[in-house]
Amino acid sequence: MTRTEAQQAIHDILGQIAPDADVDNIPPDANLRDWTELDSLDFLNFIEALSERSGQRIDEDDYQQLATMASAVEFLAGADLPGGRLGGD
């Protein structure tokens, strides 16, 4: 998944889960849960939808890497790169 695809996926999913949130203007370093006012169940739905859309397994240990738009994009985009979390070496 490219950075652009990752950002679009996050944007789309947050827009579905938190339709009243201003997802078009999320600053890269803003906490996604705070910005969109996601409760714990909404956040889990976000994780599940991201996993389905990206085709990547997202474990509970990975949740901290999905805290901001910037870190979530890097996490999703970096997973398929050599040396990334799924790439090994």
Q: What is the rounded average pLDDT of the residues 23-40?
A: 95
| 3-78 is a CATH 1.10.1200.10 domain | yes
* Amino acid 79: pLDDT: 63
Q: Where are the domains of the chain?
A: 3-78
User: Which of the four pLDDT bands, split at 50, 70 and 90, describes residue 78?
Assistant: confident
Query: Is residue 65 scored above 80 in pLDDT?
Result: yes
CA dist., res. 68 & res. 64, Å (int)? 9
